[in-house]
Amino acid sequence: MRGIKTLTRHLSLKRMSSVRLQKFISDAGIASRRAGERLILAGSVTVNGRIISELGSKVDPDRDEVVVSGSPVKARKKLYIVLNKPPGFLCSRTDPEDRRVVGDLLPADWTNLYTVGRLDKESEGLIFLTNDGDFCLKLTHPRYGIRKQYVAVVEGRLQSGQISRFTEGVEHEGEILKAERVRLVDSNNSHSVVEIELAQGKNREVRRLFEALGHEVVELRRTRIGPIKLGELPVGKWRSLSPVEIQSLTPKPKS
């Protein structure tokens, strides 16, 4: 009986430690999960010397030897970074035109990190970087409903009634854009300051919302993602997310 229990426990632990092969390849920074699937189907991946060409195959990262296109693959430590992006930087590790990128602000050996979502070149503020594909998905897919807060400085005077249209939905270039919450912070004849919260994560959404009302955004800063605030993190600096913060950012999908 004791032997059966020991075997059952061993098999249970093995199931817990095993991961899908394409996920292991993605987590190691070799390729995205879909690209990893293509490598598997093409017969470019071996596990313990045997070619694996079936999707859904699992490996134990601590025991199995995985080779992709002739090169051994090792599991990488997962990193979760908060960066206060300065304006004028691209959300990329490198750039063929040699423009400034967020990768310039990070340790040189963190080449496997990628941004979670994006901020356009002239926007600034809070952005995450990671090598964890699942974490990235949960923060960017609309079904998880992760809200992001911004402070925008726009040209011209805005009225409270005018920006309340954002929560009702505004059409721009054939697409409906909508804010979850909007607050007019300050307004004068030349400029207005608006705090706005979004959940959809569409491309250049804040700028397009104001453009739909005929106002140009001249400054845009992201101040919060989910429960994580920018706080006192200096511009151009980064810090690691704590385990508690990581847990707070991985909710279950909305029903």
Per-residue pLDDT of the chain (255 residues; tens, 9 = 90+): 444 444 444 444 344 468 899 988 887 778 878 889 999 999 999 999 999 999 989 998 878 999 999 999 987 788 999 999 999 999 988 888 999 999 999 998 888 888 999 999 999 999 999 988 888 888 888 788 899 999 999 999 998 788 889 999 999 988 999 999 999 999 999 999 999 999 988 889 999 999 998 999 999 999 999 999 999 999 999 999 999 999 999 766 665
Provide the 3-class DSSP secondary structure of residue 87: coil
Q: Is residue 254 part of a domain?
A: no
Q: In which domain, by residue range, is 118 found?
A: 80-142+229-248
Structure tokens at 97: 């035109």
Question: Which residues lie closer than 8 Å to 196 by C-beta, 6 or more apart?
Answer: 149, 150, 151, 152, 166, 179, 181, 182, 183, 206, 209
Do 162 and 130 share a domain, yes or no? no
- The CATH number given to whatever domain includes residue 171 is 3.30.2350.10
Do 243 and 127 share a domain, yes or no? yes
Q: What is the pTM of this model?
A: 0.75
Structure tokens at 78: 């997962």
The single residue of 120, 132, 134, 186 carrying the catalytic annotation is: 120
- The CATH number given to whatever domain includes residue 123 is 3.30.70.580
Task: Mark whether 120 is an active-site residue.
Answer: yes
